[in-house]
Chain A
């Protein structure tokens, strides 16, 4: 609980980068976009990076990020082989970003009718008016310094628009690869899903080396009436890679948004996920798994805002902490005045498997309406000795028994992944991580 004594980070470095890049950043000729950029820069200069004095960051020391000067990569090396990262048997539309830049050759931008996938830089050059009313409409304006930094220094991102009534069979896979030493990638994404449409997205954050990198993404998602979205965030970067991942969602009446955040890698990962249920009878699922070892640190910060009547939400995060890893869970449910008949549930369960691991969990309910059913629960514990004993009596050795039980613990979330090849791949990765030594 000791506040971080590290003095304000080197924000100057990034302000310098902005000065150097200014004319080279996309959308420089688009007045409203450039305006937004400058506002974000001003905000970043003012507030800088968060510190542990900020209530929302009290358990996450940022020294690893703020003590380094990451650089915007001018031209990424595109001779990269993505085969090792492929999810076997997964049939998807792939869009690939390398160090924050769209990789044209590896990306499928030409999708079926009714689906537009374009790079942000290209949209801003050719048809900026198309996105004007959406851009910055979902993300919180008073969010932390990382969001401001992304707003100021983003180089590219993806803009996806799905017309009303379109149902996409194949998932859209967004791959964000960080590979250059000291590179900062700041994708800025916008996804609009029209009425009655249906789509699946898989955001994958990967890194292919021991390079120190920072990925600081902001994704805004607009879910129109009765649209249905399955959204996956899969984080498997190496432990020298750091990530701040912001996903901001607005849901209209009758829509469904299911988010599954699976964190299996990354040295320091912070996820901000905020969903506003703005129309009646909308439903949101937030599921998450984190399995950490070494000195990994993951901070899941979720916000569920019930603004309208008759909405339901369900949140379940499960985590396994080994070695010196540390996890933070901060789940906030807010039910605004007038959001009657709300049903909101939230659960966080963590297995603490090592003497040196730490969990800090902070579920939070803020309720301003009376006809509601809200609950949250949190547990922190170990594997059940009786279950272990039972397995041992069946001839399973202790290490296997532990792996089996740990796996069963997180499987409650994993088995809710509907895309089979993805689930298989995650199960495999997870099983290999959960090999226990006794």
Chain B
């Protein structure tokens, strides 16, 4: 089996191609956090008064909270005073077209393979992108096409100016400002994010996507995404993230709120590829994220799909509150931890309305010294008639120094509920490998095939282009690993 172990080792070793730094002048606040910093951020964003008050009350609340200690994670405490809470590439006026964007930024996104030039897009693969660089949105594409069908897709700061009533109505309505430690911090200092509104009966004509990039040193990224799908509308939203390779840990504490009204459907996909740290566990992003969707109306549906391959530490539980009758929540996740990465991720499905359904499929892969935990809650409240849940959490172990853990919680207070949970943990079977080898596959192809097969249930939920990227990320450059 020695060769197999080498195989696995080479399979999971790879360079972080997105680890470069863009040299650009930035307007960065000095590290530190107090009420003045929050006032400055709010002023820079020219925010309405209500938002500043909201931020300040979140901050005051946060001061009285404690960092969560229950996750199965191990890391030194975060020094919040050493982080800069705002960093923006310098640019003078509002941009009319892509030509006015700093070429260095364009180059950055080109290097990352993010399509922000509408002309260069392939016909048929239309994705509208909001590119967020540190604390600000650089560019949002296809705005015109989208606005023709009434879809609003813009940076949150712009939405605050153009549609304050929508923001005011929904911001914090799913994740209240004091929800948890990192959500409270985000509420106080968030600097950017995307805002999406899909009007009644509209099926969003293209995939919407936000691409997050941390560039500046010692900064934290605190974005806040708000997606509202009005009655009978549909939207598919993608999110990607990368960061330069640095020795310090950087904090990313985002909040995502989804609201689906009667008959609306939101599909939210994430490919998280923050810098994971080096092979000795040095550096990497702390990814402490609160994501939650509310099915506010009848027959609403929210689906989370995530592929988590990056970050030194991941702490996130995309959840769905199934408030409307017949609403549906889904969670599909692949989480990979390698080297010294740690992940504590999962979901919460709260069944409140009648005839609600939820499905949870979680696939964890641990390699190196990685620690991978699934943590999930399925809750059926007393009035939730005929709730149905199915959960499956599988873990794959590669090597004897990693760990895979499962912590599901099921709380059921209604006798008409049917809740099922299954979890398995194993490694790649020698017989599976042998079978593939016997069919003429090389060892590396066999392993890659088995790993991809293991994740298939999740990958097939991803939009096409993302699925390919995810497989590549996971399939993890195999070139030259066989001698």
A residues at B contact (CB < 8 Å): 1, 55, 59, 337-338, 340, 352-355, 357-382
Contact = CB atoms under 8 A, between A and B. Distances in A.
B420 interface: yes
16 contacts: A59-B411, A352-B414, A355-B415, A358-B412, A358-B413, A361-B410, A364-B408, A365-B406, A369-B400, A370-B397, A376-B421, A376-B423, A377-B422, A378-B408, A378-B410, A379-B418
Nearest to A360: B411
B67 interface: no
Given A374-B426, A376-B406, A367 B397 contact: yes
Contact of A360 (B409, B416, B421, B426): B409
Contacts, number: 113
B408 to A, nearest CB: 6
A359 B397 contact: no
B410 A362 contact: yes
Contacts of B417: 352, 380-381
B198 interface: no
Interface in B392-412: 395, 397-412
B410 A380 contact: yes
Nearest to A366: B405
Contacts of B415: 352-355, 357, 382
Q: Report the 7 A-B pairs with minimum CB-CB distance, sorted nearest first.
A: A370-B397, A380-B419, A365-B406, A374-B425, A352-B415, A375-B424, A378-B421
B50 interface: no
Contacts of A380: 410, 412, 417-420
A357 B420 CA distance: 18
Contact of B426 (A357, A373, A378): A373
A372 B397 contact: yes
B416 A367 contact: no
A372 B425 contact: yes
A354 B417 CA distance: 11
B427 interface: yes
Contacts of A358: 411-413
Contacts of B414: 352, 355
A219 to B, nearest CB: 28
A375 B400 contact: no
Nearest to A329: B410
A340 to B, nearest CB: 7
A383 to B, nearest CB: 10
B75 interface: no
A352 B380 CA distance: 12
- Which residue among A1, A363, A367, A372 has the maximum number of chain B CB atoms within 10 Å of its CB? A367
Q: Give chain A's interface secondary structure class.
A: strand
A1 B405 CA distance: 23
Contacts of B424: 373-375
Given A365-B425, A366-B72, A374-B425, 12 more contacts: A364-B408, A365-B406, A366-B403, A366-B405, A369-B397, A369-B400, A370-B399, A370-B402, A373-B425, A374-B426, A375-B422, A376-B406
Contacts of B399: 370
Contacts of B405: 364-367
Secondary structure at chain B's binding surface: helix, strand, loop or mixed?
Answer: strand
Contacts of B395: 365, 367
Contact of A364 (B382, B397, B407, B427): B407
B251 to A, nearest CB: 26
Nearest to A353: B415
B388 to A, nearest CB: 10
A312 to B, nearest CB: 15
Contact of A362 (B379, B407, B425): B407
A363 B421 contact: yes
B350 to A, nearest CB: 10
Nearest to A374: B425
B360 to A, nearest CB: 13
A363 B411 contact: no
Given A377-B421, A379-B420, A367 B403 contact: yes
Nearest to B389: A380
Given A358-B412, A363-B408, A370 B422 contact: no
A381 B401 contact: no
Contacts of A360: 409-412
Contacts of B420: 377-381
B410 A381 contact: no
B392 to A, nearest CB: 10
A11 to B, nearest CB: 25
A361 B414 CA distance: 14
Contact of B412 (A353, A359, A376): A359
B426 A382 contact: no
A368 B423 contact: no
A353 B72 CA distance: 35
Contacts of B406: 363-365, 376
B277 to A, nearest CB: 21
Given A365-B405, A377-B422, A372 B427 contact: yes
- Counting chain A CB atoms within 10 Å of each CB, the highest count among B395, B411, B420 belongs to B411
Contact of B70 (A55, A337, A354, A373): A55
A271 B55 CA distance: 46
A379 B421 contact: yes
B421 A381 contact: no
Contacts of B419: 378-381
Nearest to B400: A370
Contacts of B418: 379-382
A49 to B, nearest CB: 21
Given A375-B425, A381-B418, A368 B410 contact: no
Nearest to B395: A367
Interface in B133-148: none
B403 A362 contact: no
A355 B417 CA distance: 10
Interface string B421-454: 1111111000000000000000000000000000
A363 B423 contact: yes
Contacts of B423: 363, 365, 375-377
Contacts of A359: 410-412
Contacts of A363: 406, 408, 421, 423
Most buried by B among A340, A355, A364: A364
Nearest to B70: A55
Nearest to A358: B413
